[in-house]
Amino acid sequence: MTHDLIVLGAGPAGANAALAAAQAGLKVALLDEQDGAGGQVWRQPLPGLTGLPVSAEARSGDALRAEISASSVDLRLSRRIWSVGGRFRVDALGPQGNETVEAPSLIAATGAHERVVPFPGWTLPGVIGLAAATVLIKSQGVTPGRKVVVAGCGPLLVAVAAGILKLGGDVAGIVDLAGRRDWLAALPSLATQPELLGRGLGWAVKIGAGRVPVYFGHAVKAAQGEHALERIVIAPVGRDGAYASGPDITLETDALCIGHGLVPGAEVTKLLRAEHRFDRLRGGFVPVLDAYGRTTVERLLACGDGAGLRGAIIAEQAGRLAGLAAAHDAGVVPADRFAQIADPILAAISRARPFSDAMAGIMALRPAQVAAIAPETVVCRCEDVTRGEIDAAHEAGAHDLNQLKHFTRCGMGPCQGRMCGDVAAELLASKVGSREQAGYWTGRPPLRPVPFDALMGAFDYSDIPIPEPAPL
Amino acid sequence: MIHDLAVVGGGVHGATVALFAARGGMNVTLLERGALCREASGVNAGTLTMQMTRVALIPYALRAHAMWASARDWLGHEVGVVVCDGLSLAFTEREEELLTYRAGKRREAGAPIELITGAQASAVEPGVSDKVRLAGYCRVDGFANAYLTGLAYRRALLGEGVALREYTPVAGVEREAGGFALQTPTGLVRARRIVLAGGVWLEPMLAWLGVHLPIKTLVNQLAVSERVAPVMRTVVGIANGLLSLKQYPHGTVVIGGGWQGLGDRERGGVELLPDRLIGNVRLACHAIPALRSARLARAWAGLEAETKDALPAVGPVPGVDGAYVCGSVHSGYTSGPYIARLLADQLLGREPELPLFPIDRLLSPGDAPRGHV
Ligand SMILES: Cc1cc2nc3c(=O)[nH]c(=O)nc-3n(C[C@H](O)[C@H](O)[C@H](O)COP(=O)(O)OP(=O)(O)OC[C@H]3O[C@@H](n4cnc5c(N)ncnc54)[C@H](O)[C@@H]3O)c2cc1C
Ligand SMILES: Cc1cc2nc3c(=O)[nH]c(=O)nc-3n(C[C@H](O)[C@H](O)[C@H](O)COP(=O)(O)OP(=O)(O)OC[C@H]3O[C@@H](n4cnc5c(N)ncnc54)[C@H](O)[C@@H]3O)c2cc1C
């Protein structure tokens, strides 16, 4: 064993888990594929890029990065984790090729990925994810286009719009799936986190000052253009996400940032065969956890958005708890001390919950929106599988997600089903009765596609441990 | 109602027996714990090769190959079968010896394998490494797209009127007057005769009848690349059989050969061992160097059954009238349809074209059923 604990993902959850466990005395390895800690929300600008506007998030990220450098945590960046097995062995591709770390405890904190509910034209150049836009803005200070429409649902809408304005860009409109009524209903919960609400309102003011039109209760019906995006058509939707009566509106734009919430990246806990359950509010199938983040697999813990969407604030706290629990289970934190530290964190999580639930509610997948996808619309963009083909595969006998994959190749492409999986499962669930019936893709390596070349490194034929010949 | 035949296990063996029995006029039901052909028969490498087939099975595999090549005629649906040349490579002196011996034995059994030089191998397969010293060359080779097996068989079985019961695990079987009653979550299913076609689960299935047949579970790892431009046009293996490699028309390259991962009957193929995955990939890229620039998209593991003598378990269950077993065929995806059809012939009262593989040879005296079944 190289370490006492391995933490996968150096976002708010994983970084705090690693820090808490290291503080308690564990030898911790913290791995992330990015070249700086901070995860999605506190992503740092690319090296050498200066002059980007400084946000509250950038400051939090810098503080976290400083704390990690000052700690005993063995931080390994630019490590693409591709295999997790044993109890526990992690393989990651890094600058020196494949690298292995081993420890008796593991915390999965790999964050979320974004969900886009398909519509005609969503695969046109110029259409990008809403969360993806935050990456462009934060890491490179680049706006996604000259005249951008921001669409979908959740807090990233205003964050992205405000980010574009701050960089001097032009926002042609915000198209929000949620209506004014949804936001008003969420307001009391949002007010429990005045700082965050204040940040949101600050963005809103910026957006107001920029005279950006906001279309509440609208969805993008189509993205159009000859070779790339030229315009979008939007239409009103009801609270359930289905199209409602009302006129179509056309907006000229060369970039559409669109996202319909996030999906927990629970691949590690699935790979290790922990028990999972479907939780619509938390974004999909999530590992079954105790209050401290322990999964049903011994010494495997999970925290942050990868274990169910709760947002950055709870990610930090849940990370601390998981790190502490791992240290306790390793025998370095006595029970009374554990309770002493854990109780206030649990209380902080309870306080953050109403805000987090309200946000998660606004981002949760709306079944009626999925039901409205047209038969000819591509759902799996890696393999060009349409909704009609998914329905036909169900007719032909594919009654669970893995069989659907076999019948159609849906999810077999380079995104490994991350983009299409949630929507494909929802489509199938509408036929077979429930998401539980439809199931989820079996967890398999690699967690990310990895180049053979880097995986193999330099070798001689005689180095290959070829097993004994098969019987003749 | 009582069926003429109940087949338990919907892999390529069970599905083929059910299909030909129904086609022969029997009233058939097929019970499958999960979805059709989602275990070994849906996750295997799909290689239809003589150069990995056990010598004793070559006559069967040759006929089975012809069946796959004409799947459209008897199965009626596409399984993506590509018939092409196959090469088995030797990179060292020891491998040359092994290849010469093994190819010779397989040739004696009827497989049209010739030995060719490295230069000749490059002419057959321009993508092959220049380090090849000797190659077994066989024109009877190819591959299918295993993940389409369930789709094709499902249509065929329904077309033939088989009562298909998917997501129906059988928990046990009782003997009763005139046949058998299978226990399922939705009640008893009755049939005059039964075929147990449970892959690696044959051992627990036969235990229902009081028969103890040890079945070893192999956990085979496989890997697939992303779609890439053509890097090869043949099926490529190595002398000792630990590589199977081919590129599908849509561009992905599947890498296999039987490198072992972790798992068992109870949990499935649950874990891939990264060192073995890397070893298997190295071997593949050593054989086809252009593959180096591709990316690994996914790896998985499936379960393959093996008897004590690594030969099939296909025939009547000794001491239990009307019960049959069908499975544990080495390279069973290749030979499965033919061998299972032989069993269907026997059930239909026809003389099988080639002998079956009765399990009496594998049972010790104490393993016979104890009558109380
Ligand atoms: C693209 C994107 C942008 C987002 N932007 C915002 C935002 O601007 N504001 C906001 O409040 N919330 C944002 N979110 C929501 C975000 O999930 C949470 O706010 C918060 O970052 C969750 O913290 P976490 O630690 O759970 O996960 P993350 O912050 O996502 O951290 C997970 C880390 O794991 C790493 N990782 C995952 N898989 C692997 C692997 N196989 N190998 C190596 N490393 C791996 C990732 O690189 C990442 O750094 C965004 C989410 C996404 C997906
Ligand atoms: C990874 C891998 C790669 C392979 N590559 C090749 C190859 O390239 N070429 C080749 O020729 N062969 C290959 N093989 C071998 C080949 O796949 C198998 O020999 C063949 O598919 C076995 O078919 P089967 O029907 O006997 O078993 P299976 O396909 O395993 O079917 C058995 C079925 O029984 C069902 N079952 C079990 N218990 C119950 C129950 N209680 N009630 C109801 N149903 C039950 C299971 O769910 C399963 O569907 C490979 C095998 C593996 C695992």
**Token pair 């999986």 in the structure block, residue:** A421
Pocket test for ligand 1, best of A19, A31, A34, A41 (most atoms within 8 A of CB): A41
Ligand 2 and B220: CB distance under 6 A: yes
Predicted confidence at residue B370, as pLDDT, reads 53
Residue range B199-225: mean pLDDT, rounded: 98
Identity of the residue in A82, A406, A445 whose CB atom sits nearest the CB atom of B42: A406
Q: Are strands B179-184 and B187-196 parallel, antiparallel or unpaired?
A: antiparallel
Separation in Å, CA of B91 to nearest CA in chain A: 8
Give domain A373-438's CATH number out of 1.20.120, 1.10.3470, 1.10.287, 1.10.10. 1.10.10
Cβ neighbours around B245 below 10 Å, total: 29
Q: Between residues B166 and A206, which one has the greater pLDDT?
A: B166
Tell whether B258 is within 8 A of chain A (Cβ): yes
Q: Are strands B82-90 and B134-143 parallel, antiparallel or unpaired?
A: antiparallel
* DSSP of A194-207: HHHHHHHHHHHHHH
Whether residues A453 and B151 touch (CB distance < 8 A) is answered with: no
For residues A16 and A312, is the Cβ–Cβ distance under 8 A?
no
- CA nearest B10: which of B29, B43, B32, B25? B32
- CA nearest A210: which of A268, A271, A143? A143
pLDDT in tens, chain A (472 residues): 999 999 999 999 999 999 999 999 999 999 999 999 999 988 888 877 777 777 778 888 999 999 999 999 999 999 999 999 999 999 999 999 999 999 999 999 999 999 999 999 999 999 999 999 999 998 889 999 999 999 999 999 999 999 999 999 999 999 999 998 888 888 888 888 888 888 888 888 878 887 899 999 999 999 999 999 999 999 999 989 899 999 999 999 999 999 999 999 999 999 999 999 999 999 999 999 999 999 999 999 999 999 999 999 999 999 999 999 999 999 999 999 999 999 999 999 999 999 999 999 999 999 999 999 999 999 999 999 999 999 999 999 999 999 999 999 999 999 999 999 999 999 999 999 999 999 999 999 999 999 999 999 999 999 999 998 888 9
Predicted confidence at residue B327, as pLDDT, reads 98
Predicted confidence at residue A54, as pLDDT, reads 75
Whether residues A470 and B226 touch (CB distance < 8 A) is answered with: no
Q: Residue A108 Cα, ligand 1 centroid: separation in angstroms?
A: 12
pLDDT digit string, tens, across residues B18-71 = 999 999 999 999 999 999 999 999 999 999 999 999 999 999 999 999 999 999
Q: Which of ligand 2's atoms lies nearest the C-alpha of B334?
A: 11
- CA nearest A403: which of B154, B209, B102, B286? B154
Ligand 2 and B170: CB distance under 6 A: yes
The domains of chain A are located at 5-113+263-361, 116-260, 373-438
Q: Are strands A378-380 and A385-386 parallel, antiparallel or unpaired?
A: antiparallel
CB < 8 Å from A in window 298-317 of B: 298-300, 310
pLDDT grade for B369, boundaries at 50, 70 and 90 = low
The domains of chain B are located at 2-41+148-213+309-362, 84-142+216-306
- pTM for the full predicted model: 0.96
Predicted confidence at residue B227, as pLDDT, reads 97
Tell whether B100 is within 8 A of chain A (Cβ): no
Element (H, E) at B192: strand B187-196
Give me the CATH topology for the region B2-41+148-213+309-362. FAD/NAD(P)-binding domain (3.50.50)
Q: How far is residue A436's CA from residue B35's CA, in Å, rounded to a whole number?
A: 15
Reported residue count of chain B is 373
Tell whether A416 is within 8 A of chain B (Cβ): yes
Give me the CATH topology for the region A5-113+263-361. FAD/NAD(P)-binding domain (3.50.50)
Q: How far is residue A111's CA from residue A265's CA, in Å, rounded to a whole number?
A: 6
Tell whether A465 is within 8 A of chain B (Cβ): yes
A116-260 falls under which CATH superfamily? FAD/NAD(P)-binding domain (3.50.50.60)
Q: Are strands B216-225 and B253-256 parallel, antiparallel or unpaired?
A: antiparallel
Q: How far is residue A209's CA from residue A211's CA, in Å, rounded to a whole number?
A: 5
ipTM: 0.94
Give the residue ranges of DSSP H helices in B269-331.
274-287
Predicted confidence at residue B182, as pLDDT, reads 98
Q: Which amino acid is at A161?
A: A
Identity of the residue in B151, B291, B310 whose CB atom sits nearest the CB atom of A407: B151
Residues of B in contact with A88 (CB under 8 A): none
DSSP state of A237: B
Residue range B316-342: mean pLDDT, rounded: 97
Q: What is the distance in angstroms between the CA of the first residue and the CA of the last residue of chain B?
A: 22
Q: Which of ligand 1's atoms lies nearest the C-alpha of A114?
A: 53
For residues B259 and A468, is the Cβ–Cβ distance under 8 A?
no
The Cα diameter of chain A in Å comes to: 78
Ligand 2 and B13: CB distance under 6 A: yes
Tell whether A168 is within 8 A of chain B (Cβ): no
Q: A455 exposed, middle or buried (CB, 10 Å; 0-12, 13-18, 19+)? A: buried
Ligand 2 and B225: CB distance under 6 A: no
Q: How far is residue B145's CA from residue A408's CA, in Å, rounded to a whole number?
A: 12
Q: How far is residue B147's CA from residue B302's CA, in Å, rounded to a whole number?
A: 12
**Domains A116-260 and A373-438 alike in fold:** no
B84-142+216-306 falls under which CATH superfamily? D-Amino Acid Oxidase, subunit A, domain 2 (3.30.9.10)
Mutate to test the interface with A, among B32, B278, B283, B309 (most CBs of A within 10 A): B278
Predicted confidence at residue B373, as pLDDT, reads 40
Ligand whose nearest atom lies closest to the CA of B335: 2
